[in-house]
Amino acid sequence: MALSLPEALAKLPRHPLLYSHPSPIHPLPALTSYLNTNPPKSPKSTPQIRLFAKREDQSSPLACSGNKYRKLEYIVPDILSPQPLYNSYPNNTPNPNHPPTSNQKTTTLITEGAIQSNHTIQVSSLANHLNLSSVALLHKGTGGGLSASTDKTSFLRTGNPQIAHLLGADIRVLEPGSTNGGRTDTVEPVLAELRAAGKTPYWIPSGASLHPLGGVGYARCAFEIAAQEKQLGARFDYIFVACGSGSTVGGLIAGFKMLERMESSSSPPSQNTGGKTKPPRKIIGIINSPTKPQTWHEERVLRFARQAGSLIGLEDASQAITLEADVHLDGRFAGAAYGVLDEDTKRTMEIAARKEALILDPVYTGKVLSGVMGWVEGGGLVGDWEGRGGGVAGDGEGPLNALFIHTGGQAALAAYADLE
């Protein structure tokens, strides 16, 4: 599928890791029917809300397909460069006063995450794809998945760690730290160890979000979704996605902001009913960890969105993307802790599996779909639509369309022995 990308985005180096076709978008008719059986009545109407899923878990031929491959596509060219611009710990920020002096090519990818990290699997798989080695630092103290498990031995060995072993990653399971805000700096010693062994490591931060290029892949995804909208004949009024490290939702915000600019400058608004233009698509990030306050996540996503916006050619990105207008996060579905399976998420996973044969994961997608269902069942979606000037939903305007982005993660299910 050819995408109409802005010039700056089209020129950015990219190493394809995804299939040549977009990850599929398909309707969820059984869930749609389930949620519309007894919908909450707004003061004015009872609209139909249609649910769709974008299957990022089916986007790549590499192991455990998920959202990180789309991010990594724009990082690979720097990895393969003889003088990587962004290879610095901890946040890959280039230092113009100290340019790289080594012409040694990268030999090893190193990253970190929780015990059941999806990101570390996708980085390890990428390393194999590039004929490199990989090191995965897995922190026991990240989140509460391990501490909440009734079978800790299984949690440490099955699911993603098992796949990492199959991929041949050098796995370092690290104990919770006691300094530096609760965690010792365990990365620098490993980097020094690798360099002393004659290797050239390339650091990829958790989730790839702190990497300057981390949000570009999902800025591009916005244009992919828009192209699929035309094929489906349906615009997605709401897009729900997990907010973990933050660059997936930040990239989407930047991409759709740029898309709106391009649409408004190229032709009159086409998405209208009875001469009235619809409100912009709204991206809602469902926070999956209660560790940090929501304001921390919002500021982080804003930073990532502006950074991605600047890279794809959005003029004055720092003014064009604002906290109030563009960053919409919801922390009500995060549960007790990152990686902990709560009853609401378990219920959602069961409903999705039994009504759509859709398998979710307990860390991200289960909580996101819980959020989607909460917005629909609680009347929040209709109320937000009408509050933003979308008119009376269901009153001659057709249904509201909500897109759930499935970011993968099902491989972690094997570690959750309590899920029956």
CA nearest 365: which of 329, 341, 401?
341
Question: What is the token pair recorded at 96?
Answer: 């113009």
In this structure, how many other beta carbons lie within 10 angstroms of the beta carbon of residue 296?
12
Q: Is 117 a catalytic residue?
A: yes
DSSP 413: G
Place of tokens 């989140």: 143
Residue 224 class from Cβ within 10 Å (0-12 exposed, 13-18 middle, 19+ buried)? buried
Residue 290 class from Cβ within 10 Å (0-12 exposed, 13-18 middle, 19+ buried)? middle
Helix 380-387 crosses helix 365-377 at what angle (to 10 degrees)? 70
Contact 53, 255 (CB under 8 A): no
Helix, strand, or coil here: 202?
A: strand
Catalytic residue among 23, 60, 65, 117: 117
What gap in Å lies between CA 164 and CA 125, rounded to an integer? 8
357 backbone φψ class: left, alpha, beta (φ>0; ψ -120 to 50) = left
Q: Which residues contact 101 (CB under 8 A, 6 or more apart)?
A: none
Q: Which residues contact 122 (CB under 8 A, 6 or more apart)?
A: 62, 63, 64, 66, 68, 69, 72
Residue 182 class from Cβ within 10 Å (0-12 exposed, 13-18 middle, 19+ buried)? exposed
Residues acting as catalytic residues: 117
